[in-house]
Amino acid sequence: MEEEGKFGLALPEVDYPVFKQSMVTANKYGEVRIDGALIHVPRSYHYSSLYLILYWDHYKVVSTNGELLSKGPRPYMNQTREIPMAIYIKKLELEATIHCIFSVFSLFAWKNCTLLKYRINNTKKRAC
């Protein structure tokens, strides 16, 4: 052990960061590019720049105010991520524009889309 101590290097004073932090911007659909894949981040279009924190197995998207907007497994982990259904359904009920409908329907399974279309049609009839 003493022989190895002579040739080994001392441990660093500052901890080695196990994450990578960078500034990103969301496109007009509220998507952020992570590892070459576009991932939808709710409420990201309100901010001009976002912090993307990449760990080896997951990511976090944080606003400039420190609000955690999204977190999930990185695309290469081949894991599914939870879709915040309540946010999307509330968004559809408030504003049923073409952009909103397209971005939400691409996330849901087909049988859920028929239910959402029914709710949107009823919401439009009430609004008129």
Q: What CA–CA distances, in Å, run from 114 to 62, 108, 109?
A: 33, 10, 9
Relative orientation angle of helices 85-94 and 110-127, to the nearest 10 degrees: 30
Q: How far is 30 from 39, CA to CA, in rounded Å? A: 8
pLDDT tens for each residue of 20-70: 999 999 998 889 999 999 988 988 888 999 999 999 889 999 999 999 999
Element (H, E) at 121: helix 110-127
**pTM for the complete prediction?**
0.56
Return the pLDDT at 22: 94
pLDDT tens for each residue of 61-111: 999 999 999 998 888 877 776 766 677 677 766 766 655 666 666 666 555
